[in-house]
Amino acid sequence: MAYNDLSAQYQHLKKEIDAGIAAVIEHTQFISGPQVEELEQALCRYTGRRYCVTVSSGTAALLMALMALGIGPGDAVFVPDFTFFATSEAVSLLGAEPVFCDVLADTFNLDPESLRAQVRRAKKAGRLKPRAVIAVDLYGLPADYPAIEAVCREEGLILIEDAAQGFGGELAGRKACGFGKLSCTSFFPAKPLGCYGDGGAVFTDEEPLYRLLCSLRVHGKGADKYENIRLGLNARLDTLQAAVLLPKLAAFDAENETRNRAAALYSSLLAGSAFSPPGVPAGYRSSWAQYTVRAGSEEERAAARSRLEAAEIPTMVYYPVPLHLQKAYAGLGGKAGDCPVAERLCKTVFSLPMHGYLAPEAVRQVAAALLRR
């Protein structure tokens, strides 16, 4: 059994994907070809955003969003402690300091009360200037934006949505990538909308930010790429990747329905068991980048994963180490107990097979193997 069956997706979309790739090879506009602009317009229509700038990776998207806001040394950017390293890494690369906030045990997303406490603690200490919050849509579920936006208004912070895993999720009818002053996503192959390499996008509703992002994407260009008016990056999305993403975006809603049906079946089969299904609050919809359950302990997780491995069912652990305990951040003085929920999740969560072509029979097979004693 495949954890994320990209081969099944390719076979389903083979004709369209092959034709898209062939068209790029035929016209040879491998950089900034017409498919890139076509994809950006389609992504705007899907998310409801006014502007989209496709880029070379989800990490580049985060970095450019922070650069566009002028984040730098002396600034504090508040991030959830339980997420992939890139969320905080982009902050650190610009000389700013990530401040780690705890998460909610049921949704795995940023805890608004922990955020509020950390912002006020930083203001009281006075060492850093609180500037922004990066809220992550972990595993495909949008964060609690109403509560997070309220904290940002109260404390004078800019909100960035990290929807690297969240594309296709919804909150009260609003699509993921539609929250915050800027939002970012990733097209890494394993994501709900993934290309055949690295890729990403930044979204905004503000034209000045859009024009700044377009400049940053190509070495800080001005009127053309040989006029450089600021420091920027080489962060363009390849035309070939745009050509792969266009048919995948057209098929995305159907695949998302399959993921949601599979998740609902998983949750039904695991209800009342020793493995807690992920929470999806009323009014939310996940795109299920991962279907992640919680075991009762680290030992129970290890035993469950061993049972599944014996049945040739792959699992993954996202993520085994909270950000504040990563070696790269040893200099910030983080210690065990700083973010207890995140630390507990790192020891107990594991993710089951999930993709847009996962059959109900496969879900039942996974659940049966997991619950077998």
Which CATH number belongs to the domain containing residue 228 in this structure?
Answer: 3.40.640.10
**Domain carrying residue 14:** 6-247
Distances (CA, A) of 300 to 93, 104, 147, 315: 37, 21, 34, 14
The answer on 19 and 130 residing in a single domain is: yes
Distances (CA, A) of 88 to 95, 171, 328: 11, 24, 11
Dist CA 106 CA 259 (whole Å): 19
Dist CA 272 CA 267 (whole Å): 10
SS3 359: coil
Q: What does the block give as tokens for 160?
A: 């960035």
CB 281 within 8 A of CB 107: yes
- Specify if 1 maps to a domain: no
Dist CA 78 CA 169 (whole Å): 22
The answer on 96 and 198 residing in a single domain is: yes
Last residue of a domain, one of 247, 262, 294: 247
The answer on 199 and 256 residing in a single domain is: no
Last residue of a domain, one of 225, 247, 269: 247
Does 14 qualify as catalytic in the annotation?
A: no
- Specify if 218 maps to a domain: yes
The total number of structural domains in the chain stands at 2
Residue whose token pair is 């950017």: 77
**Cis amide prior to 319 (ω within 30 degrees):** yes
- The half-sphere exposure of 169 on its side-chain side, counting CA atoms within 13 A, is 33
Looking at the whole model, is its pTM more than 0.95? yes
Quick one: which of 226, 232, 161, 174 has its CA closest to 200?
Answer: 161
pLDDT (0 to 100) of residue 225:
87
The answer on 87 and 194 residing in a single domain is: yes
- Tell me which amino acid residue 351 is: S
Last residue of a domain, one of 247, 280, 298: 247
Identified catalytic residue from 14, 129, 191, 248: 191
From first to last of its 373 residues, what are the pLDDT tens digits of the chain?
A: 999 999 999 999 999 999 999 999 999 999 999 999 999 999 999 999 999 999 999 999 999 999 999 999 999 999 999 999 999 999 999 999 999 999 999 999 999 999 999 999 999 999 999 999 999 999 999 999 999 999 999 999 999 999 999 999 999 999 999 999 999 999 999 999 999 999 999 999 999 999 999 999 999 999 988 999 999 999 999 999 999 999 999 999 999 999 999 999 999 999 999 999 999 999 999 999 999 999 999 999 999 999 999 999 999 999 999 999 999 999 999 999 999 999 999 999 999 999 999 999 999 999 999 999 7
The answer on 45 and 66 residing in a single domain is: yes
- Tell me which amino acid residue 45 is: R
